[in-house]
């Protein structure tokens, strides 16, 4: 198989899916109404609820859901073979992930921009509300702490990325000011901003900035503290000041990145050297069900429902934009994952330097993916993508040093976007929880954000080295995919109340519930056998919650005409 043929087939199928299945869902299942008043207009406050042009909102939504998920997942799952990885990225994106993201966005927009946890209250049962919100808090707690750690590590590994990533902030603030205060032409301003961004990348490639240790802390710990301070500030500012313009720049950066990688595929068109199937990779967990947990954001991810119902639903200017923002973004994320698979399956085989020796072809891939242990670890996963992509870019004249810097900035930028959005969404969750508990003095913008960031700081530094989130990381994959199943559950109940066919969300719901439950049982067994009772108890609580919500929902689905609880309009 040639990587160019692989990519072209997938991209064409995505375009067809958007214009057929996506538009069918929008018109016939969700009955998109462009004349319906949306929360961004009804509750416009200039901070969180802001009507936004669909192109800008697409940039925010896409870069928020992308992060490192669609890169890391496929880069490790390919150990089971490129065929299973690619099939799940293709089919999962079209029939599960895009339905999940689009449905979460529409249902939230029709219920005052409420989060997916808040929606569960009105559509399913008030009894599950607090527990569902706590599960969301738990996931975001890990996300904020782990992404701060990942960005800090990337800054240490790729100091070339430090200058361009931080200089993007004043560029974004300038862009937001010119667009919203001076009514400038967003297209031309974006062109200037992106050109400035790539100038800083070239500077960074030849002017790496290394953080020294200070105050008894190592470089990674210093970066983590700086990133938490940044996350607090960014998450309390109006979305038009930093979040939107930075995400808009990042969206252009990502599109350029995709173009550079695809040009590399066209020019180099390396043959796929990874095995088509390797279902019994040395030391790897079983491909069923873990393929569907390892590849999350590239096919379906519960975190996406938090973005759809957390920030994007509060900025959608018209329901007609929901298909482009929700369904379209997920297919674009699948596009990124497809290019990652091409870079690892083919680009890595162009050249891999190991201990001074250059390996090519299948030998290069086999060296990197000799076993699950060899392919594990963040640096191993990311380096496979970075060097594979850099090899393909070098084929048409981009110096490898520049290509590696571009990839490093690309990864840090999107990890930073995820950190920004996760912190802002966590603030919403804290506000919802504290309001429910009659602790209104904790629900304000600054206090709730302080709680969101402060709890992440505690998690990061409880072990004293900034890596505390790694203690809970083994649970993240299954919890994240559990959340995806629960979001599909909320969407399915919503469609049942509207008298719509349930198969479009119901089939991916059943599939994800089964795969997540299966993976959770295997993980719980592993935790018990290792005597890790902390992870066992936390995982068991999450699993019980899943079963509880499913039972309540099945009972409700059996009574589709039952009046919705008053806590949500279910409109």
Distance CA 115, CA 118 (A): 5
**Average pLDDT of span 529-557:** 82
Residue 568: inside a domain: no
Number of structural domains (the chain) is: 1
Beta-bridged to residue 389, according to DSSP, are none
Q: Give the pLDDT confidence score for residue 180 in this predicted structure.
A: 86
| Distances in whole angstroms, Cα of residue 525 to Cα of each of 283, 288, 398, 521, 537 | 17, 16, 49, 6, 11
Distance CA 331, CA 100 (A): 12
Grade residue 562 by pLDDT with cuts at 50, 70 and 90.
low
Closest CA to 298 of 332, 261, 333: 333
Residue 569: inside a domain: no
Instruction: Convert the pLDDT of each residue in 342-399 to its tens digit.
Output: 999 999 888 777 777 788 888 888 888 888 877 666 677 778 888 899 999 999 998 8
Phi, psi dihedrals of residue 274, rounded to the nearest 5°: -75, 150
pLDDT higher than 80, residue 570: no
Cβ partners under 8 Å of residue 338, min gap 6: 6, 7, 10, 11, 86, 89, 90
Residue 113: inside a domain: yes
558 versus 561: the higher-pLDDT residue is 558
Q: 289 preceded by cis ω (within 30°)?
A: yes
Distance CA 123, CA 567 (A): 9
Residue 175 and residue 189 in contact, taking contact as beta carbons nearer than 8 Å: yes
Closest CA to 496 of 546, 551, 570: 570
Grade residue 335 by pLDDT with cuts at 50, 70 and 90.
very high
To which H or E segment does residue 358 belong?
Answer: strand 357-359
To which H or E segment does residue 206 belong?
Answer: helix 186-206
Distance CA 9, CA 398 (A): 26
382 versus 104: the higher-pLDDT residue is 104
pLDDT higher than 50, residue 566: no
Instruction: Convert the pLDDT of each residue in 41-72 to its tens digit.
Output: 999 998 899 999 999 899 889 988 887 888 88
Q: Give the pLDDT confidence score for residue 561 in this predicted structure.
A: 53
pLDDT higher than 90, residue 472: no
Cβ partners under 8 Å of residue 107, min gap 6: 119, 123, 309, 490, 491, 494
**What's the DSSP call for residue 30?**
S
Residue 567: inside a domain: no
The pair of three-digit structure tokens given for residue 381, joined into one six-digit string:
């996963």
pTM for this predicted structure:
0.89
By three-state DSSP, how is residue 354 classified? strand
Q: Give the pLDDT confidence score for residue 138 in this predicted structure.
A: 87
Residue 563: inside a domain: no
Instruction: Convert the pLDDT of each residue in 8-50 to its tens digit.
Output: 999 999 999 999 999 999 999 999 999 999 999 999 998 899 9
Query: By residue range, what is the domain housing residue 104?
Result: 3-557
DSSP assignment of 32-85 equals --TTSPPHHHHT--SSS---B-HHHHHHHHHHHHHTTHHHHHHHHHGGG-HHHH
pLDDT higher than 60, residue 258: yes
Q: Give the pLDDT confidence score for residue 257 in this predicted structure.
A: 86
Phi, psi dihedrals of residue 434, rounded to the nearest 5°: -70, -30
pLDDT higher than 70, residue 548: yes
Q: Give the pLDDT confidence score for residue 72 in this predicted structure.
A: 86
Residue 38 and residue 28 in contact, taking contact as beta carbons nearer than 8 Å: no
Residue 562: inside a domain: no
Least-confidence region, from 117-131, 296-310, 411-425? 117-131
Q: Give the pLDDT confidence score for residue 158 in this predicted structure.
A: 85
Instruction: Convert the pLDDT of each residue in 511-521 to its tens digit.
Output: 999 998 999 99
Taking the CB of residue 555, how many other CB atoms lie within 10 A of it?
12
pLDDT higher than 50, residue 569: no
**Average pLDDT of span 144-161:** 89
Residue 3 and residue 265 in contact, taking contact as beta carbons nearer than 8 Å: yes
Domain of 431: which CATH number?
A: 1.20.1740.10
Mean pLDDT for all residues in the chain = 88
| Percentage of residues in the chain having pLDDT higher than 70 | 95
DSSP assignment of 530-557 equals HT-HHHHHHHHHHHHHHHHHHHHHHHHH
559 versus 395: the higher-pLDDT residue is 395
Q: Give the pLDDT confidence score for residue 471 in this predicted structure.
A: 80
User: Cα–chain-centroid distance for residue 27?
Assistant: 27
Distance CA 495, CA 283 (A): 42
Phi, psi dihedrals of residue 52, rounded to the nearest 5°: -130, 140
pLDDT higher than 70, residue 2: yes
Residue 181: inside a domain: yes
| Percentage of residues in the chain having pLDDT higher than 90 | 51
Residue 141 and residue 455 in contact, taking contact as beta carbons nearer than 8 Å: yes
186 versus 120: the higher-pLDDT residue is 186
**Average pLDDT of span 435-458:** 92
Residue 406: inside a domain: yes
**Average pLDDT of span 201-228:** 90
Grade residue 546 by pLDDT with cuts at 50, 70 and 90.
confident
């Amino acid at each position: 198989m040639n990587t160019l043929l692989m990519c072209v087939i997938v991209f064409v199928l995505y375009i067809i899916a958007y214009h057929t299945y996506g538009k069918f869902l929008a018109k016939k299942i969700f009955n998109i109404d462009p004349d319906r008043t949306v929360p961004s207009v009804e509750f416009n406050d200039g901070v969180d609820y802001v009507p936004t042009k669909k192109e800008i909102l697409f940039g925010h939504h896409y870069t928020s859901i992308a992060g490192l998920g669609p890169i890391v997942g496929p880069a490790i799952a390919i150990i089971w073979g490129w065929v299973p990885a690619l099939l799940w990225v293709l089919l999962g994106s079209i029939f599960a992930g895009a339905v999940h993201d689009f449905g979460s966005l529409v249902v939230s927009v029709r219920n005052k921009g409420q989060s997916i946890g808040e929606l569960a209250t009105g559509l399913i049962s008030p009894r599950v509300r607090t527990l569902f919100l706590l599960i969301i808090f738990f996931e975001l707690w890990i996300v904020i702490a782990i992404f701060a750690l990942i960005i800090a590590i990337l800054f240490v590994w790729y100091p070339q990325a430090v200058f361009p990533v931080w200089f993007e902030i004043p560029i974004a603030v300038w862009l937001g000011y010119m667009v919203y205060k001076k009514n400038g032409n967003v297209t031309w301003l974006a062109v200037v901003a992106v050109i400035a961004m790539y100038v800083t990348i070239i500077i960074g490639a030849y002017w790496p900035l290394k953080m020294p240790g200070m105050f008894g802390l190592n470089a990674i710990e210093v970066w983590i503290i700086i990133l938490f301070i940044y996350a607090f500030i960014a998450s309390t500012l109006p979305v038009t000041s930093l979040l939107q313009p930075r995400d808009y720049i990042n969206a252009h950066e990502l599109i350029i990145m995709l173009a550079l990688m695809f040009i590399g595929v066209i020019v180099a068109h390396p043959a796929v050297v990874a095995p088509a199937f390797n279902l019994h990779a040395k030391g790897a967990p079983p491909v069923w069900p873990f393929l569907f947990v390892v590849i999350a954001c590239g096919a379906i991810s519960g975190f996406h429902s938090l973005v759809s119902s957390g920030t994007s639903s509060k900025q959608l200017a018209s329901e007609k934009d929901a298909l482009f923002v929700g369904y379209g973004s997920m297919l674009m994320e699948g596009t990124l994952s497809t290019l990652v698979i091409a870079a690892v399956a083919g680009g890595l085989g162009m050249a891999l330097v190991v201990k001074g020796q250059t390996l090519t072809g299948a030998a290069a891939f086999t060296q990197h993916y000799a076993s699950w242990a060899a392919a594990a670890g963040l640096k191993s996963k990311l380096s496979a993508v970075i060097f594979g992509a850099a090899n393909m870019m070098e084929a048409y004249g981009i110096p490898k040093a520049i290509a590696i810097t571009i990839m490093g900035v690309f990864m840090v930028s999107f990890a930073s976007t995820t950190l920004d959005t996760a912190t802002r969404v966590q603030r919403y969750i804290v506000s919802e929880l504290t309001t429910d508990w009659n602790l209104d003095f904790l629900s304000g913008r600054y206090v709730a954000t302080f709680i969101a960031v402060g709890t992440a700081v505690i998690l990061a530094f409880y072990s004293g080295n900034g890596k505390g989130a790694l203690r809970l990381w083994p649970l993240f994959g299954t919890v994240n995919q559990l959340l995806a199943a629960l979001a599909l559950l909320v969407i399915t109940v919503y469609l049942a109340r509207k008298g719509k066919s349930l198969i479009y969300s119901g089939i991916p719901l059943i599939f994800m519930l089964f795969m997540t439950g299966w993976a959770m049982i295997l993980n719980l067994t592993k935790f018990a056998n290792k005597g890790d009772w902390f992870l066992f108890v936390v995982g068991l609580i999450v699993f019980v919650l899943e079963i509880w919500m499913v039972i309540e929902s099945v009972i409700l689905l059996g009574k589709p005409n039952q009046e919705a609880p008053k806590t949500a309009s279910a409109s």
